[in-house]
Chains A and B, each alone.
Chain A
């Protein structure tokens, strides 16, 4: 399982899992777009590079998802695949493949308006990495 949805009174969040940090960050990105649209309906026509930094693991997680959400809210890009080719404390570089949004082809399932710091968690446990992130919807 890559992620599960967390229920929250006014909003909702995700509980994400990963074998290692790269896997965790890629799965968090997948979760974000899986909530926004039907990823199976995307082709991944174009490529876009993303680079983010942070002060600590929670900060870089928020910045990473914030950057991806920006691709959707401002650039109308729907991301299909994520290739994180560099990740260390606390820098991340990735290449994503996306389709430009087409209202006739792409269903929008949820409007996610912001990625928040609320109760943010990014942890390395005995069985791998996990993270909790709440979205403002």
Chain B
């Protein structure tokens, strides 16, 4: 099937309304990246999402769009809160997969001599890899408290500070979380994994602020050139997977009763205003809270490692959480649609919230400049810090991109890495790596990913977020 796209401007292409589409699709990309996107099924998926009941304005795709289950990854879709659907496929398996960035008082020359010791100690203290289990074993009753409270639970148990909660999207807690909506299986799967990194594309990265693009925002975020940072990418582990899996199975059956004719089984959904829809929303919130607690615990453990390695107390190290964002989530938010403010359910699957200065959803510290946005790249290149904009509120329901996106399959990456020592190649570039899984490093090699700078150029150029800083990795821990 060929899909014709109409160019709107240098960064946007329209996928016109055809067939069962209720709204058009809008793709944020560049002429050069468009060719790769066209080869995938993801445009068809953008069109499929546009057929779902209650969708508002457009089915949106960010420049890091690639194929996903049902909904594309890099997709944003908002549905009317009263008359729209909610779909587990629009959030993804790893509910509240996200990124957090902490900035220390150290600079590269302080860290270089002890970098190996640092990454080894992090490797020892942050459980990672396939099915990794943590140092925290929860009773089911305690696990339910994690699901209710999110980041706050972690801080209450000594893993972090109040300001960490303040500097987390939604203060690290979706209040609609209801632990009674999740299955015994999900609870079982999540019990032993809190405080663990996981495997696949999840990582912990020590970086250096290489370049500041926007001095005012950088200063508000506490960033300066040469500064050593810690970037964490992880999610809700097996717990979120089980929640998604349970509800996909359930909604596949449920949607038949509703009589929706879906172009793809994985678009299974429920009306938000139904017992089934709200049950998913409340279960998903549990997984979101689990992920925030998870990242909070890992940040705390990392701070302890830094403290030990550099012999610095918390005040001298002052490793402050810049922000924590989620990029797989569905949330009730208020947006202007056709000139009127409406409650909508924004699905961001592989997309990040991008709230502008002045938004009441932001903590006081960032209300003047806008929300920090964290975009991880591959382990050999760079990661970016952006800031939210008004234009994102007007065009993309306050959303922007989330990362680079794969170009090579895991097996193709393994083939491409045959006979090469990826760790040595990275070391030659000044990046130390530690990893757990047998083939993780080959599968996650830099060439397996798209060029992050192209993705950033589009969201910056389109104005749905603005560049603040570029981070260069110096040590990476992979699951």
Q: Is the CB of B266 within 8 A of A66?
A: no
Checking A9, A11, A73, A116 against B238 with a beta-carbon cut-off of 8 angstroms, the contacting residue is A73
- Decide yes or no whether B435 CB sits under 8 A from chain A: no
Bits for A103-123, please: 1 = Cβ < 8 Å to B, else 0: 000001111011111101000
For residue A72, which residue of chain B has the nearest CB?
Answer: B131
Q: Is the CB of B199 within 8 A of A111?
A: yes
Among the stretches B314-322, B381-389, B404-412, the one at the interface with A is: B404-412
Q: Is the CB of A117 within 8 A of B437?
A: no
Chain B residues within an 8 Å CB radius of A11: 410
Given A73-B189, A111-B199, A136-B93, are A12 and B69 also a contact pair (CB < 8 Å)? no
| CA A62 to CA B69, docked complex, whole Å | 14
Min Cβ gap A107→B in Å is: 8
Bits for A56-100, please: 1 = Cβ < 8 Å to B, else 0: 000100110010001001100000000000000000000000000
- Decide yes or no whether A41 CB sits under 8 A from chain B: no
- Decide yes or no whether B471 CB sits under 8 A from chain A: no
Given A9-B66, A73-B238, A74-B189, are A114 and B411 also a contact pair (CB < 8 Å)? no
Min Cβ gap A98→B in Å is: 16
Q: Is the CB of B241 within 8 A of A114?
A: yes
| CA A120 to CA B265, docked complex, whole Å | 10
Given A55-B253, A108-B131, A118-B266, are A66 and B67 also a contact pair (CB < 8 Å)? no
Chain A residues within an 8 Å CB radius of B407: 9
| CA A128 to CA B199, docked complex, whole Å | 37
Q: Is the CB of A118 within 8 A of B69?
A: yes
| CA A117 to CA B437, docked complex, whole Å | 26
Q: Is the CB of A111 within 8 A of B265?
A: no
- Decide yes or no whether B244 CB sits under 8 A from chain A: yes
Bits for B193-219, please: 1 = Cβ < 8 Å to A, else 0: 000000110000000000000000000
| CA A1 to CA B63, docked complex, whole Å | 41
Q: Which of A7, A9, A74, A136 has the most CB atoms of chain B within a 10 A radius of its CB?
A: A9
- Decide yes or no whether B248 CB sits under 8 A from chain A: yes
| CA A117 to CA B263, docked complex, whole Å | 13
For residue B67, which residue of chain A has the nearest CB?
Answer: A9
For residue B201, which residue of chain A has the nearest CB?
Answer: A10
B161-189 contacts to A (CB < 8 Å): 185, 188-189
For residue B188, which residue of chain A has the nearest CB?
Answer: A74
Checking B93, B249, B406, B412 against A113 with a beta-carbon cut-off of 8 angstroms, the contacting residue is B93
Q: Is the CB of A111 within 8 A of B410?
A: no
- Decide yes or no whether A137 CB sits under 8 A from chain B: yes
Chain A residues within an 8 Å CB radius of B257: none
Chain A residues within an 8 Å CB radius of B94: 113
Min Cβ gap A127→B in Å is: 26
B381-431 contacts to A (CB < 8 Å): 406-412
- Decide yes or no whether B438 CB sits under 8 A from chain A: yes
Q: Is the CB of B406 within 8 A of A9?
A: yes
Q: Is the CB of A8 within 8 A of B409?
A: yes
- Decide yes or no whether A5 CB sits under 8 A from chain B: yes
Min Cβ gap A64→B in Å is: 12
Min Cβ gap B40→A in Å is: 8
Given A9-B406, A10-B406, A59-B252, are A117 and B69 also a contact pair (CB < 8 Å)? yes
- Decide yes or no whether B245 CB sits under 8 A from chain A: yes
Chain B residues within an 8 Å CB radius of A113: 93-94, 238, 241
A5-58 contacts to B (CB < 8 Å): 5, 7-12, 55
- Decide yes or no whether B336 CB sits under 8 A from chain A: no
Q: Is the CB of B200 within 8 A of A66?
A: no
| CA A17 to CA B200, docked complex, whole Å | 28
For residue B448, which residue of chain A has the nearest CB?
Answer: A9
Chain B residues within an 8 Å CB radius of A118: 69-70, 266
B64-79 contacts to A (CB < 8 Å): 66-70, 73
| CA A113 to CA B94, docked complex, whole Å | 10
Checking B93, B238, B438 against A109 with a beta-carbon cut-off of 8 angstroms, the contacting residue is B438
| CA A32 to CA B191, docked complex, whole Å | 24
Checking B188, B253, B409 against A9 with a beta-carbon cut-off of 8 angstroms, the contacting residue is B409
| CA A109 to CA B200, docked complex, whole Å | 12
| CA A62 to CA B268, docked complex, whole Å | 15
Q: Is the CB of B411 within 8 A of A12?
A: yes
Min Cβ gap A34→B in Å is: 15
Chain B residues within an 8 Å CB radius of A66: 245, 249
Given A63-B249, A108-B131, A114-B93, are A137 and B200 also a contact pair (CB < 8 Å)? yes
| CA A137 to CA B39, docked complex, whole Å | 23
Q: Is the CB of A136 within 8 A of B69?
A: yes
Given A114-B93, A114-B245, are A7 and B411 also a contact pair (CB < 8 Å)? yes
Interface residues of A (CB under 8 A from B): 5, 7-12, 55, 59, 62-63, 66, 70, 73-74, 108-111, 113-118, 120, 136-137
9 additional contacts, CB 8 Å, given A73-B242, A110-B130, A111-B199?
A7-B409, A10-B68, A73-B238, A73-B241, A109-B438, A116-B69, A117-B265, A117-B266, A136-B93
Would you list 9 pairs from A and B whose C-beta atoms are within 8 A, ordered by A residue?
A7-B411, A9-B408, A10-B409, A63-B249, A109-B438, A114-B244, A117-B252, A117-B266, A118-B69
Interface residues of B (CB under 8 A from A): 40, 66-70, 73, 93-94, 130-131, 185, 188-189, 199-200, 238, 241-242, 244-245, 248-249, 252-253, 265-266, 406-412, 437-438
